[in-house]
Amino acid sequence: MDNKKLKQYTLNQISNPSELEEVIQWIEATPENRSEYNRLKNCWAYASFCNYDDLPQKSIRKRSVERMLSLKVFRYAAVFTLAFILGGMSIYFIEGSHQELAVNEVIVPLGENAQVILPDQTHVWLNSGTRFKYPSNFTGKNRDVELFGEAYFDVEHDLGRPFRVMTENLTVKVLGTQFNIEALNDKDEVNITLIEGKVNLQTNKGQSIVELKPNQNAVYNSKSNELDVQSVDVEYYTSWTKGIMLFRDEKLADIADRLERCYNVFIEFDDEASKEIKFSGSILRNKPINQILDILKFTSNLEYTITIRHEKPNIIHLKKKPM
C-alpha cells in the first residue's frame, strides 16, 4: 500500500467504496500494517500532513493470517445499515441476535466522527469515542436506542411510537425533534440541548423530570440528583456536527478533555497554573493538532512538546513559558 493512498484515506479523500475497502482491509490485515498506518498518521499530524512522499516506506511482509475487517458485520439476521464515514477511520458495527431481532452496535473511535441512518429514517451524528446501539427494526410501542457518549439526533416524527434515547443515568423521550445529548461514561452529568420540537427527560424508571423547550439546555447530575435548565445558544452545543469546536471563556483543562477525544491524544500539564488559562474562539476539527497548539501558544504564555508514539496515542505536554 503506497503512502499517497493511505494519506487520502486519512483525509477522507477516497470516495470509491472498493478503494476504501481495499485500504481498510490492508490496515487490518496484520499488526504490522496497523502499526505502519499509525506511524504514518502520527507523522502527518505532527507535520501538518506535509511531505508524506518523503516518509520512509517500511517493507511489510505479507502474512497468511485470519483477516480482521474494520467494518465487522456478523449477519445473524437480515439487517441493512447505512453509515457515512466522516474521516479516515475504523468504525465497528457489531450485530447480535436474539431470535427475530438484531441489535446493531456502532463504536466510533477517539479522533473520529460518524453518521448513521436508523430504520425509521432518523439521522444520528456520533461524536468521538461514542458507542451507540439500535435495533435492526423498530417494533413495539417505542423506538428505543442506547447511547454512551455524545450524539446529535434528527428524529423522524411518529406520533404513535415515541423515540427514546437511553443513557446510563437518564432517558430522553421525543416524538420528532432535533436535540444533542452528551452522556460520557466518565462523567456523572448528562447534558441535553433541544434545537427544535419537544423532549421529556425521564429517569430510567420512567419518572418524568422536566420537559425542555427549544433553545434550552439541561444538565442533570446523577450523583447529586440536581438539574440545571437554562436558555442557551444551541450553536455552541451542536457545532461539532459541522466540524467546529467552540470555546467560550473555558479553562485549558476543560479544553484539553475535548481535544483528547477529538484528536485521540493524551494531554499532560507540566504545571497546575496552565490548567487555569482561559480561551474563547473556534477550532476547525479537520486541522492537525499542532496547528491548534500553535494557536494556543501564540495567544498565551504557553509552550508545548509532542511525543510521537507509533502504536499508542501521542502525548502532548503543556506548560507555561518561564518568565
Q: Provide DSSP, 151-189.
A: EEEEPPP-TTS-EEEE-SS-EEEESS-EEEEEE-TT-SE
Does residue 69 lie within any of the structural domains? no
Same domain, 129 and 178: yes
Residues 212 and 201 sit within 8 Å (Cβ to Cβ): yes
For the beta carbon of residue 210, count every other beta carbon within 10 angstroms: 14
3-state secondary structure of 18: helix
Does residue 95 lie within any of the structural domains? yes
pLDDT at 230: 95
Q: Which three cell numbers stand for residue 308?
A: 510521537
Same domain, 87 and 130: yes
pLDDT at 103: 86
Same domain, 116 and 158: yes
Q: Which three cell numbers stand for residue 65?
A: 493470517
Give the residue numbers spanning the domain of 316. Answer: 243-320
pLDDT at 82: 33
How far apart CA 66 and CA 62 sit, in angstroms, is 12
Does residue 65 lie within any of the structural domains? no
Same domain, 213 and 291: no
pLDDT at 323: 67
pLDDT at 125: 95
End residue of a domain, out of 180, 210, 237: 237
pLDDT at 211: 92
DSSP E strands, the chain: 82-85, 92-98, 101-107, 114-117, 123-126, 131-135, 143-154, 163-166, 171-174, 178-183, 189-196, 199-202, 208-212, 216-221, 226-231, 244-251, 266-269, 278-284, 302-307, 315-320
pLDDT at 156: 93
Same domain, 207 and 225: yes
Same domain, 203 and 258: no
Same domain, 260 and 307: yes
Does residue 71 lie within any of the structural domains? no
End residue of a domain, out of 222, 237, 252: 237
What CATH number corresponds to the domain at position 268?
Answer: 3.55.50.30
Same domain, 8 and 31: yes
Does residue 68 lie within any of the structural domains? no
Same domain, 44 and 152: no
pLDDT at 252: 92
Q: Which residue has cell 490496515?
A: 27
Same domain, 221 and 250: no
Does residue 227 lie within any of the structural domains? yes
Does residue 32 lie within any of the structural domains? yes
Sheet containing 266-269: which strands, arranged edge to edge?
266-269, 315-320, 302-307
Q: What is the pLDDT along the chain (323 residues), one digit of tens a residue?
A: 777 787 777 665 676 767 777 877 787 778 788 777 766 765 554 443 333 333 344 332 222 222 222 333 322 222 223 333 333 334 444 444 444 568 888 988 888 888 999 999 999 999 999 999 999 899 889 999 999 999 999 999 998 899 999 999 899 999 889 999 999 887 889 999 999 999 999 988 888 889 999 999 999 998 888 999 999 999 999 999 988 888 888 999 999 999 998 888 999 999 898 899 888 888 888 888 888 888 888 877 888 999 988 778 899 999 887 76
Burial (CB count within 10 angstroms: exposed 0-12, middle 13-18, buried 19+), residue 16: exposed
Residues 234 and 118 sit within 8 Å (Cβ to Cβ): no
How far apart CA 77 and CA 90 sit, in angstroms, is 23
3-state secondary structure of 273: helix
pLDDT at 13: 67
pLDDT at 280: 86
- The total number of structural domains that make up the chain: 3
Same domain, 150 and 222: yes
Name the residue among 319, 297, 289, 303 with its Cα closest to residue 47: 289
Which contiguous run of DSSP H or E holds residue 29?
helix 17-29
How far apart CA 195 and CA 41 sit, in angstroms, is 36
Does residue 251 lie within any of the structural domains? yes
What CATH number corresponds to the domain at position 101?
Answer: 2.60.120.1440
pLDDT at 213: 93
Same domain, 113 and 90: yes
